Amino acid sequence: MGLFDGKKGLILGVANDRSIAWAIAEMIMAEGGQCGFTHLPDRVGDEKKKNRRRVEKCIEKSEHPENAKFLVPVNVQDDEQIAGLMETAKSEFGQIDFLLHSVAFADRGDLQRDTIETSREGFKMAMEISAYSLIAVCNAARPLLAENAAVACMSYYGGEKCVPGYNVMGICKAALEASTRYLAYDLGPRGIRVNAISAGPLKTLAGSAAGVGEMLKMYEHMAPLSRNITHSEVGKTGLFMLSDLSSGITGEILHIDGGYNIMGSPGRLIDAMGT
């Protein structure tokens, strides 16, 4: 008997096998959950369909490929494509019990310059994709969400405190976390929960753009556990937050970062710098 037996849901944001969304999806499928996946639309003329193929490879190599029920391209800036995703989900599942939003993007140029120099167009794009898309997707999914369904999104500590280098994305994550709380209120009367998972740095496609290498070194010294987290640990956390085990939790930002967020000083990093 799996934790997700009989449950069906959507996974938005798998880019490759190092994606946090994939780590969570693997756990869900292993527990019997049926998943519908999205991928970034491929560029016109890309005969190899690289974005789609990356996600297909993840599914093919998984231990439970039979629980991956569909894979469709979705640009979260396009309401028609979001509506199309929900039509596919309705046709395949009828209703959905869980929804994972793991979508974020900012222009690399804006990430590499000081926040004060963020371009107007870059800010609007980053905010639309990284924060507003959660609202848009939840709104479109409302008719399909089962009573007591669960929604989770992915955040980072840079949305709470200033993390140099994270820059405009930190502002987007702050908006995403605020959206989580307001959506939790709006959907609460139906028993639908909305939470955010604030994960420490991991080697992912998105992480590479945010300078995750330096963050990994710092977390190893500063976090109370004196190490970095793993994809598996985030996968298990996502599994918990989207399951009935977390039925009394909503509007929360759950940190999984080895305790880094509790620190008020550099801790053991001072010792490391002295050696």
E-strand stretches of 66-192: 68-73, 96-101, 145-155
User: 185 an active-site residue?
Assistant: no
Neighbours of 30 (CB within 10 A): 17
Residue 15: closest CA among 6, 7, 23, 4: 23
The yes-or-no answer on residue 166 being catalytic is yes
Catalytic, out of 157, 166, 219, 260: 166
**Helix 168-187 / helix 133-141 crossing angle, nearest 10 deg:** 20
DSSP label at residue 194: E
Q: Using an 8 Å Cβ cutoff, are 9 and 99 in contact?
A: yes
The count of other CB atoms within 10 Å of the CB of residue 63 is 9
For residue 49, which phi and psi values (nearest 5 degrees)?
45, 60
Length of the chain as a residue count: 275
Show which residues are catalytic: 156, 166
